[in-house]
Chain A
Amino acid sequence: MKTTMANTHNPVSQAQQPGQGMFAAVKAKIFHPATRQKLLAFASLLVLMVFFSFASSNFLEIDNLVSILQSTAVNGVLAIACTFVIITAGIDLSVGTLMTFCAVMAGVFLTYMGLPIYIGIAAAIFFGALCGWVSGVLVAKLKIPPFIATLGMMMLLKGLSLVISGTKPIYFNDTPGFSAISQDSLIGSLIPVLPIPNAVLILFLVAIGAGIILNKTIFGRYTFALGSNEEALRLSGVNVDFWKVAIYTFSGAICGIAGLLIASRLNSAQPALGQGYELDAIAAVVIGGTSLSGGTGTILGTIIGAFIMSVLINGLRMMSVAQEWQTVVTGVIIILAVYMDILRRRRQ
């Protein structure tokens, strides 16, 4: 078995090997399994879009494409949060209700207490991080399996959202500029032909930031190490508990951003919303090539996965497929994606 591979594409670090030919490097990158998976996902996305553009005449209209981008924003941000946790071989079922909880807390600070807009933004992110921290402590210190711990948090946060809001939506009409977070278009004001909503801009900024953190920082390195072999990491002297909690906290903070996005899009915090979003997020992560057994994954893959999900849903709606059937299709896609992940792992 060859042990020196000239340009083994390292999915963790994108750094090029100095002194190696560009062509060989590109070739190795293309044929590495992780990249192959991403290319496959991207190809599926293109195929879907082509299919739907034939199936429905309205699909490629600007308004519809903008709508797809908008609906991807929230799911995409949630999926980015999930990516980190899933790479550690954990799972976070609470991301959906946490998002709603953060939106509610923003409502409390902005509408109930009348504070300035940036306090509301900070509050959403703070409470996201706080709840993420709690999940992290449950998993790392109390050793509760992530599935159970975050399932409990999911229910807890759903209840809290309803309690705090009095089971009524909280409106942001009194906070000017709040809806602008998602709905206005900063890009559109600069380049009139591209009315891309701010929500999408925020999605891409979060994606780029998360990508850098995942691939170029200690935080990201330990995320992969935890998922690859937690015991080896512990034996290497790294404080595994601390980093696990940190990762869940970070994921929670990102859910806070998602909360702002959805509250801003609806111009209200809807406390009954949220449950069910986590499954779409996890589906996006898995479709994008991240394995549920941990150790490997990319932000780019997750984004592609999120787009596949929303293109699919949107396309089916354009074809006037009933909502119930959309859910069926989503379920089938999730099962297929996880099954392909298992096949891929078995081949290794």
Chain B
Amino acid sequence: MSLENITKRFPGVLALDNCRFDLQRGEVHALMGENGAGKSTLMKVLAGVYPKDSGEIRIAGQLVEIPTPRAAQALGIGIIHQELNLMNHLTAAQNIFIGREPRGRFGMFLDEDALNRKTREIFERMRLDLDPATLVSELTVAKQQMVEIAKALSFDSRVLIMDEPTAALNNAEIEDLFRIIRQLQSHGVGIVYISHKMDELRQISNRVTVMRDGQYIATVPTATTSMETIIGMMVGRQIDNSGPDVPDTSGNEIVLEVKGLQRGAFIKDVSFTLRKGEILGFAGLMGAGRTEVARAVFGADRVDAGEILVHGAKVTIKSPRDAVAHGIGYLSEDRKHFGLATGLDVKTNVAMSSMNQFLTQGLFLDQAAIRDTAQGYVRQLSIKTPSVDKPVRLLSGGNQQKIVIAKWLLRDCDILFFDEPTRGIDIGAKSEIYKLLNSLAEQGKAIVMISSELPEVLRMSHRILVMCEGRITGELAAAEASQEKIMQLATLREEKRDDQRAAQAA
């Protein structure tokens, strides 16, 4: 299977620029690149989710067109998406076989027993202990990801694309997945494996293709290429991955204290403290509950129980408005949906949380003052934009993020929650954001940084809290932290703990 000269444009950005990729029978071919490099986009073109603007796709030497997901399925191409694409109101079995349900009489009625039976067979192959008739909405994120994997496996594809398939899985489940991948390899299935995790790629892939900024960079054999070379290709230049020394903030005053936060199955008895000038890293797998905690403290979601103290005084936070009044700001994970009004311009977005500062005679907006303030922040944060009147959706991810930061700086919050601050941002802008975070901390702001990128967490945090399935499973000081320790705490599930206790008791 090969892709040649694939180009794809979205409004305002060239996502893929003459990209190339090929896959051989029975090979596991890794696809690597920074956030925004175009890996997912290229694979979505192959899977029929996006139509390509130009280029050629060949399967077994034949030129093919893939305009829809169904066309891709017909050609034997299966994909496991990065974001879960499940129908929550249906059961696991119903999701897996949607569109291919076993029929009963007249070809119109559904054979539910056959559906569950076939699903059970797939689950047994995967060694997955799950009742096929469970509603997806009742599953943990990890189990949901396994259902997605089961769905892809049920297609008997020739080409299988896996986009970050292990984001929510623990080591045992990852081992099971690798066993299945090796099984598929022996049957001649070609697998494209997209992942950030270097050690996984070492274990499982035959070749690695690197992409950067929408362009194809190179393809190398995994066994004989070093990690540094691959990272160098991803990044384009030597990156000094060590940040400044982490200061010791353990003696600073406590500005935020959270006790016994509880919200259904999402937040289970979470307590932590945050000091002035500290960067507290929140690590964990997808679905661990970190965003939920931030949103709960920020008042975006209701809580069942819990106490929040700001500067030592108990506060009631029922909405973001209350949180902001107490000096708490939240930069959301999905800035396009929750951080910016993408149709509006730069200066309006900067002033969004502080409009009442710009009122003349209590009613009218002082546009000149808004413009001056916005321009001040553009200078201060080096935001690349021709003017403050440009709509924010035309700016790059990194600059959009800086506008969100400017918005909260203007509001003068001294407690800031950053949720995945460098997601979708290229490497150059990333280091600028890191510098910004450090300088904010030096100025005395208290920062909680939620991140799924372990190198980022290790580089930036003064202290690290690890969460798993709604609970805090551990705390690490910067000096003693490592990727292994964080992963161990991030996969410490309730059942595992009980097993360990049972083993100790036995």
Which residues of A pack against B, CB within 8 Å? 1, 3-6, 8, 10, 12-13, 15, 17-18, 216-219, 221, 224-225, 227-229, 231-239, 295-296, 346, 348
The answer to whether A235 and B89 have CB atoms under 8 Å apart is no
The answer to whether A237 and B73 have CB atoms under 8 Å apart is yes
Q: List 21 A-B contacts (CB under 8 A).
A: A1-B140, A3-B130, A3-B131, A4-B134, A12-B94, A13-B112, A17-B133, A216-B110, A218-B110, A221-B94, A221-B110, A224-B87, A228-B90, A229-B86, A229-B87, A231-B85, A233-B87, A235-B49, A235-B69, A237-B68, A237-B72
Q: How far is the CA of A17 from the CA of B89 in the complex (A)?
A: 19
Q: How far apart are A97's CB and chain B's nearest CB, in angstroms? A: 31
Q: Which of B81-108 contact A (CB under 8 A)?
A: 81, 85-91, 94-95, 98-99, 101, 103-104, 108
Q: How far apart are A294's CB and chain B's nearest CB, in angstroms? A: 8
Q: How far apart are A100's CB and chain B's nearest CB, in angstroms? A: 31
The answer to whether B89 and A295 have CB atoms under 8 Å apart is yes
Which residues of B pack against A, CB within 8 Å? 49, 68-70, 72-73, 81, 85-91, 94-95, 98-99, 101, 103-104, 108-110, 112-113, 129-131, 133-135, 137-140, 143, 265, 302, 469
The answer to whether A217 and B110 touch (CB under 8 A), given A5-B131, A10-B133, A10-B135, is yes
The answer to whether A15 and B131 have CB atoms under 8 Å apart is no
Contacts of B110 in A (CB 8 A): 13, 216-218, 221
Q: How far apart are A147's CB and chain B's nearest CB, in angstroms? A: 22
Contacts of B88 in A (CB 8 A): 228-229, 295
The answer to whether A235 and B135 have CB atoms under 8 Å apart is no
Q: How far apart are A225's CB and chain B's nearest CB, in angstroms? A: 5
The answer to whether A221 and B81 touch (CB under 8 A), given A3-B139, A5-B138, A234-B69, is no
The answer to whether A232 and B86 touch (CB under 8 A), given A8-B131, A221-B110, is yes
Contacts of A232 in B (CB 8 A): 85-87, 95
Q: How far is the CA of A220 from the CA of B113 in the complex (A)?
A: 17
Closest to B98 in A: A236
Contacts of A10 in B (CB 8 A): 91, 133, 135
Q: How far is the CA of A13 from the CA of B134 in the complex (A)?
A: 12
Q: How far apart are A197's CB and chain B's nearest CB, in angstroms? A: 31
**In the complex, number of A-B residue pairs with CB atoms less than 8 Å apart:** 105
Closest to A17 in B: B133
The answer to whether A296 and B89 touch (CB under 8 A), given A8-B133, A10-B135, is yes
Q: How far is the CA of A13 from the CA of B94 in the complex (A)?
A: 10
The answer to whether A238 and B113 touch (CB under 8 A), given A3-B139, A231-B85, is no
Q: How far is the CA of A295 from the CA of B101 in the complex (A)?
A: 18
Contacts of B133 in A (CB 8 A): 8, 10, 13, 17
Question: Which residue, B89, B109, B131, B469, has most C-beta atoms of chain A within 10 A?
Answer: B89
The answer to whether B85 and A229 have CB atoms under 8 Å apart is yes
Q: How far is the CA of A348 from the CA of B88 in the complex (A)?
A: 12
Contacts of A234 in B (CB 8 A): 69
Contacts of A3 in B (CB 8 A): 129-131, 134, 138-140, 143
Q: What 8 new A-B contacts, CB under 8 Å, besides A12-B89, A225-B90? A: A13-B133, A218-B110, A221-B90, A225-B98, A228-B89, A237-B70, A296-B89, A346-B302
Q: How far is the CA of A228 from the CA of B98 in the complex (A)?
A: 13
The answer to whether B130 and A216 have CB atoms under 8 Å apart is no
Q: List 7 tightest A-B contacts by C-beta distance, closest first.
A: A295-B89, A237-B70, A228-B87, A228-B89, A232-B85, A229-B87, A238-B99
Q: How far is the CA of A283 from the CA of B98 in the complex (A)?
A: 31
Q: How far apart are B66's CB and chain A's nearest CB, in angstroms? A: 12
Closest to B99 in A: A238
Task: Pick the residue among B73, B87, B109, B130 that contacts A4 (CB under 8 A).
Answer: B130
Q: How far apart are A18's CB and chain B's nearest CB, in angstroms? A: 8
Q: How far apart are B13's CB and chain A's nearest CB, in angstroms? A: 21
Contacts of A227 in B (CB 8 A): 89
Task: Pick the residue among A5, A221, A238, A295 that contacts B134 (CB under 8 A).
Answer: A5
Q: How far is the CA of A17 from the CA of B109 in the complex (A)?
A: 18
Contacts of A237 in B (CB 8 A): 68-70, 72-73, 99
Contacts of A235 in B (CB 8 A): 49, 69, 81, 85
The answer to whether A1 and B109 touch (CB under 8 A), given A10-B91, A237-B69, is no
Closest to A2 in B: B138
Contacts of B139 in A (CB 8 A): 1, 3
Contacts of A229 in B (CB 8 A): 85-88
The answer to whether A15 and B112 have CB atoms under 8 Å apart is yes
Closest to A239 in B: B70
Q: How far is the CA of A97 from the CA of B56 in the complex (A)?
A: 52
Q: How far apart are B144's CB and chain A's nearest CB, in angstroms? A: 10
Task: Pick the residue among B90, B108, B131, B302 that contacts A224 (CB under 8 A).
Answer: B90
Contacts of B265 in A (CB 8 A): 1
Q: How far apart are B418's CB and chain A's nearest CB, in angstroms? A: 27
Q: How far is the CA of A219 from the CA of B101 in the complex (A)?
A: 11
Q: How far is the CA of A86 from the CA of B81 in the complex (A)?
A: 29
Contacts of A231 in B (CB 8 A): 85
The answer to whether A12 and B90 have CB atoms under 8 Å apart is yes
